[in-house]
A and B are shown apart, each in its own frame.
Chain A
C-alpha cells in the first residue's frame, strides 16, 4: 500500500497555475525527499495533502483513502513553514495543548517522550518566542510526532539547524521510518536529504519530472574521472575529441563522464605529451544530479 498516491493534481491561484497535473507515489515506510525550486509547487502539494488548501482538480489518497477522511487525517503529523505554536506559551504548554487537541490520554508522558526524541527536554519551560530558530524547528517536529503519526509531512525541517541539530533530525527521521512511519520531507539542503531519503520526487513548474528510489538514483548518478594537468586547455581539447562529455568543474578539475578507466586516460594523455598531476574517480551526488536534471529540462523547454 502507498502512504500517498496523487493523480493529476491541479491547483490554480487565480490565473496562476501552481500545480499542473502532478503525479506522486509515496510508499509506506519510506523517507520521501521532495525536491524542487522555489515556487515549483512543493509547499502547495504538501498543504493539499494536509487538507489546508483545496485542490482545483485531481485525486489525493492517503493510505488508500481520500485525503479528507477524518480517520486518516488524525494520523498525520505536520510541520509546514513554521511550527504552529503560541509565542507566549512555554514549549511544554504548546505541546500539551496539541496533545489535548489530539485527545492523547497519557499526554504528559507522550510530550516528555517527543521532547526526548528531538533532544529538547531541557527547553520545555522556555517560552516559544524565546527559542532559537533551530530549537523552534525541533519543537515543530516534536509537535508533529505527537499521537504517533503514520505520516509525517515536513516542509524544510532542517532549515536553520546547526550541524548537531541536523544530525539529531537525521537520526530522528531514520528512526521513525524504521518504526514504519512514512516521512515526506522537502528540503533545499540536498546533501542532507541524500543521507536519509529512500525515495525521491523532483518537481518542476507544478509537475513531477522524476520519481525514483535511492538505488535508482545511485545508478543514475554516473561515475566520472576527475583530473588535473599543467595544460588544462589542451587536455580539455584532446579529451573532448575522444570522449563524449568532458566538463571543467568549479574546483578546477576536468571531468570525463564516459565510462572509462583512469589508466586509459593517463595513457592517452601521455601519448599526446601531457603529464597528469592528479586523477581520481568520483560520483556525482544528488545535488549535481538535480542541477543536471534541471539544466536538461531547461534545454528541453528552450
Chain B
C-alpha cells in the first residue's frame, strides 16, 4: 500500500474536530445538567432572598442584629452599575452581590474540565492524537466549544433570572442603565468567559486523566481573575466594555491556548 500525501487543510481539520466536539457536547447529559443548574439557580436565589428579605438574625454571643437584605431589583443578579450614584443597583460587596451570574464562570470552568479530561479518561485521546499530529486544532476546538457552552449557560441564567424575578415579583425597573446596557453586560460577560474556558482547557491538558486536578487547578487560577469580573462587566456596560472583554478574552484564549499547545506537544498524551 502506497501512502499518498493528502494534505488536510486547517479549516477542514478544524471543521471535523468541531463537528465531533459539538456533537459530543450536545449529546451528553452533563451539558444539560449544567444548563439546567444555570437556569434554576437564579430562580432559587431570587425567590429565596425575597422571602427572607427584611428578616433579622441575632448573633447569640454579641447580640448584634443583622437584617438580611434581598434583591431590590431583578437586574442586580446580573451585576451592579459601575458608579455609586446608581442608587439601588450600585456596586456593593455583600452576600447579594456575590450570589449573582458571576458564579457561572466557575460552572463554565468545571464543565470545560470535565468535558476535556473525558477525552483522556476514556482513551479517546489515543485515537485522536495518533491521527492528528497538530495539537492546535484540538486546543482551538475545545476553546470554541467551551465558549459556546458558556454562552448557553449564561443565557440560561439570564432566562432563569427573568423568570425568578417574575415569580418573586421583583421590579424590572432600570435605574442608571437601559436595556442596551444589559445586553452589553451579557455580551461582555460571555466574551470574558473565554478566559475561564482557556484556563479550563489548560488545566485539563496538564491534568489529563486526573479530572479532579484539572477542576482544582482551573478553580484556583480562576479565582485570580474572578475579582476583575464585576469591574469590567458592570450592569451599565457599554460597547467599550464589550470590546474590552472580547479583546481580553481573545488575548487570554490565544496566550493560554499556546501554552496548552506546548503542554500537549511536550508531554505524554496517555
- Chain A residues within 8 Å of B, Cβ to Cβ: 28-29, 47, 50-54, 63, 68-76, 78, 80-89, 93, 97-98, 100-103, 143, 147, 150, 153, 179-182
Contacts and interface: CB of A to CB of B under 8 A. Distances in A.
Contact of A85 (B1, B15, B123, B133): B123
Contacts of A53: 268-270
17 contacts: A29-B1, A50-B130, A51-B129, A71-B3, A71-B5, A78-B127, A78-B130, A80-B270, A84-B123, A86-B118, A97-B20, A100-B20, A100-B23, A101-B131, A101-B132, A103-B15, A180-B1
Contacts of A51: 129-130, 133, 269
Interface of B: 1-3, 5-8, 12-13, 15-17, 19-20, 23-24, 27-28, 118, 122-134, 266-270
A75 to B, nearest CB: 5
B129 A52 contact: yes
Contacts, number: 107
B123 A82 contact: yes
A87 B133 contact: no
Given A50-B126, A70-B132, A84-B122, 11 more contacts: A50-B129, A52-B269, A52-B270, A71-B3, A71-B6, A80-B270, A84-B126, A87-B122, A93-B27, A103-B13, A153-B130
Given A78-B127, A81-B123, A82-B123, A70 B1 contact: no
Contact of A103 (B3, B8, B122, B125): B8
B127 A143 contact: yes
A89 B24 CA distance: 9
Nearest to B16: A103
A78 B124 CA distance: 11
A87 B20 CA distance: 16
A71 B15 CA distance: 17
Contacts of A181: 1
A98 B126 CA distance: 11
Contacts of A63: 3
A29 B3 CA distance: 12
A233 B127 CA distance: 57
A47 B130 CA distance: 9
Contacts of B3: 63, 71-72, 75, 150
B119 to A, nearest CB: 8
Contacts of B125: 84
Contact of B8 (A70, A72, A81, A85): A70
A63 B16 CA distance: 25
